[in-house]
Chains A and B, each alone.
Chain A
Amino acid sequence: DTAVSQTPKYLVTQMGNDKSIKCEQNLGHDTMYWYKQDSKKFLKIMFSYNNKELIINETVPNRFSPKSPDKAHLNLHINSLELGDSAVYFCASSQAGGTGELFFGEGSRLTVL
């Protein structure tokens, strides 16, 4: 069983399109995150949700809209895609009050043409 699963794993699309990446965790955690890893391999936090509430938004353009229908899911919707959005997006989860360990998904590689 995959603890943190993301879909799709690969996504190729044109500039200006709208796309979504889905994330689900079966660990019973109450905190979920989105990280972005660009072509230079820098990993940066984008968002964090705790029990469906947004708690971190790291100056991400408002074209990016995370949605958490329940605490096991955190989806990332991106409007009007730009070339600079090309990256690998990682979802992660952790348990508040736990060891602080984050469990990451395998990543979703987004390519904007």
Chain B
Amino acid sequence: DAKTTQPPSMDCAEGRAANLPCNHSTISGNEYVYWYRQIHSQGPQYIIHGLKNNETNEMASLIITEDRKSSTLILPHATLRDTAVYYCIVRVHNTDKLIFGTGTRLQVFP
């Protein structure tokens, strides 16, 4: 079973920041937080991951709370092409299971 909870859906205006929350209150000390997204009819795409420090790459930023019980994925300037289902996953680094929950359906509107 997925160990994360996310809101089922969110809206965001194009050009604005999209902040997607995720709760993982039972996360273990050796578990990383991963984010993937699935654009309609495509395979899931890796976005970013982190352990306890905030992370940033060319796609997004990941903010993890100090107690590690929740995190937020930030898309700084959302575009229409960012419309997708976003999955927050906790996973022990280098193990093989990636367990997807129900995700958040992000709709970016013009």
Contact = CB atoms under 8 A, between A and B. Distances in A.
Interface of A: 4, 31, 33, 41-45, 48, 50, 55-56, 90, 92, 94, 96-107
A101 B36 CA distance: 9
B49 A101 contact: yes
Contact of A33 (B38, B42, B91, B96): B96
Given A45-B98, A103-B46, 12 more contacts: A33-B96, A42-B102, A55-B96, A100-B91, A100-B93, A101-B49, A102-B36, A102-B44, A102-B46, A102-B98, A104-B43, A107-B41
8 nearest A-B residue pairs (beta carbon): A104-B43, A43-B100, A101-B46, A48-B96, A104-B44, A90-B43, A106-B43, A105-B43
A96 B44 contact: no
Nearest to A88: B41
A80 B96 CA distance: 29
B43 A44 contact: no
Interface residues of B, number: 23
Interface of B: 32, 34, 36, 38, 41-46, 49, 85, 87, 91, 93-100, 102
